[in-house]
Chain A
Amino acid sequence: MADTPDGGESLDIVLDVDLSKRTSELADENLALLDAHGVTAIDVLGSVGSGKTTLIMGMVAALKQRRRIAVIAGDITTRIDAGRIEAEGVPVLQIQTGGACHLDANLVRTALGRLDLDSIDLLIIENVGNLICPAGFPIGAHQRLVVLSVTEGPYMAIKHPVMVRQADVAVINKIDLAEAMEVSVEQLAADVRSVNPEIEVVATCARAGQGIDDVIAALGL
């Protein structure tokens, strides 16, 4: 108790609530929910324009005969990506973050509640185009796939070590443009491995369908 300027009585209330920890707990709950329904979830991360949507379209096309797939597309605004993936004939749920630069476990939890989890066994989650912020926000996926493209320049891996370290598979996309961009795919791959020695690295040209099967194999799908 303490006196306040206007003479009233004050009371200190201890909360001791760690909101970061709650984010992790929510992510764990999402994972448990997915496991209970036998669904594998992949969180796909990468900068704006790195080719996440095109890669996902390729993966869906290659997998949809043997896997029951749904996609969650996270975007700040617009349904452009969701519409593109829907053309592959799988259910797509759009999350518009309304300005937030990442998906979080709570947004994903809401999305999971709107999906029929018993009718799918693979959930691909396209995170918001951003290589930085999503690193701090686990959403509850079994694997994280990070997409780097050569058009982003030669330093993407070493500039985004937090994300690369958290990822299970790294895709180096748009390798058909490597020469024009004067970017060495080998060097980029070496950079990725120097930050995260455990990671699988796959080179792709998602637009042409090149390397998609390798991505699927690296994810064990």
Chain B
Amino acid sequence: MHDVTAAQQIARQVLVTAQEQGAGRVERISLALGAMTMLDPESLEFWLEQILRGTIAEGAQVRIEVLPLRVRCNACGFEGEAPVPDDPIYHLMPFVPACPECGAQGLEVLGGGECIVESIRVQRAEVGSADG
């Protein structure tokens, strides 16, 4: 269910910004998603497409960049990226990050929880119609 909620928030953000800028159409939505958000990029894209139907962003291309999990290990002092399994089934068994150096689980998460609307590419209404 997160995916729907997140998609709604993203859609709202996109449409409000597009309207403020007087856009006629939204062509592309660029997102950055932390690897530990419990959001599934495929599902998020699907819901976004559904929610944006009938709006000026219908059919917009959705680009999702996945941001790595970044941790600091309190045990050995390691600081950097930690691997996240490709296909975590979060709703059955949440993934617990371990230090890639020493295996400890006492990690401080520095990054990987982001859900960022980075940018949108819009077509300006007046310019588009003049050209057409």
Interface residues of A (CB under 8 A from B): 2, 4, 6-21, 99-102, 104, 132-133, 135-136, 159-162
Residue of A4, A20, A100, A159 with most partner-chain B CB within 10 A: A20
Instruction: Tell me the number of A-to-B contacts counted with CB atoms below 8 Å.
Output: 102
Cβ B91 vs Cβ A132 within 8 A: yes
For the residues of B in contact with A, the DSSP-based class is mixed
Q: Given the complex, which residues of B lie within 8 Å of A15, measured CB to CB?
A: 13, 17, 117-120
What are 30 A-B contacts defined by CB distance under 8 Å?
A4-B123, A4-B128, A8-B132, A10-B27, A10-B124, A11-B121, A11-B123, A11-B124, A13-B21, A13-B119, A14-B119, A15-B13, A15-B17, A19-B9, A19-B115, A19-B116, A19-B117, A20-B37, A20-B114, A100-B5, A101-B1, A101-B2, A132-B91, A132-B94, A133-B2, A133-B38, A136-B37, A160-B94, A161-B94, A162-B96
**Bound complex: CA of A18 vs CA of B33, how far in Å?**
9
A72 CA / B55 CA spacing, docked (Å) = 35
Looking at B10, B17, B115, the one whose CB has the most chain A CB atoms below 10 A away is B115
B84 located at the interface, meaning its Cβ lies under 8 Å from any Cβ of chain A in the complex? no
Chain B residue contacts of A132, Cβ below 8 A? 38, 90-91, 94
The interface on chain B, measured as residues whose beta carbon lies within 8 A of the other chain's beta carbons, has a size of 39
Q: How many angstroms between the C-alpha atoms of A215 and B25 in the bound complex?
A: 55
6 more A-B contacts (CB under 8 A) besides A2-B121, A13-B119, A19-B10? A13-B121, A17-B13, A20-B113, A99-B4, A132-B90, A133-B38
Tell me, yes or no, whether B6 is within 8 Å of chain A by CB.
yes
0/1 string, B87-108, CB within 8 A of A gives 1: 0001101101000000001000
Q: What CA separation (Å) do A99 and B124 show in the bound complex?
A: 37
**Chain A at the B interface: mostly helix, strand, loop or mixed?**
mixed
Q: Is the CB of B122 within 8 A of A11?
A: yes
Binding site for A on B (CB under 8 A): 1-2, 4-6, 9-10, 13, 17-18, 21, 23-24, 27, 34, 37-38, 90-91, 93-94, 96, 105, 113-124, 127-128, 131-132
A14 shortest CB reach to chain B, Å? 5
Residues of A within 8 A of B27 (CB): 4, 10
A15-B17, A19-B10, A133-B2 known; A9+B124 contact, CB < 8 A: yes
Task: Name which residue of chain A comes closest to B38, CB basis.
Answer: A136
Q: How far is the CA of A102 from the CA of B21 in the complex (A)?
A: 34
A45 to B115, CA, bound (A): 24
B122 touches A13 (CB 8 A): yes
Q: Are B5 and A14 in contact (CB under 8 A)?
A: no
B-chain residues with CB within 8 Å of residue A12 when the two chains form the complex: 119-121
Q: Is A19 within 8 A of B6, CB to CB?
A: yes
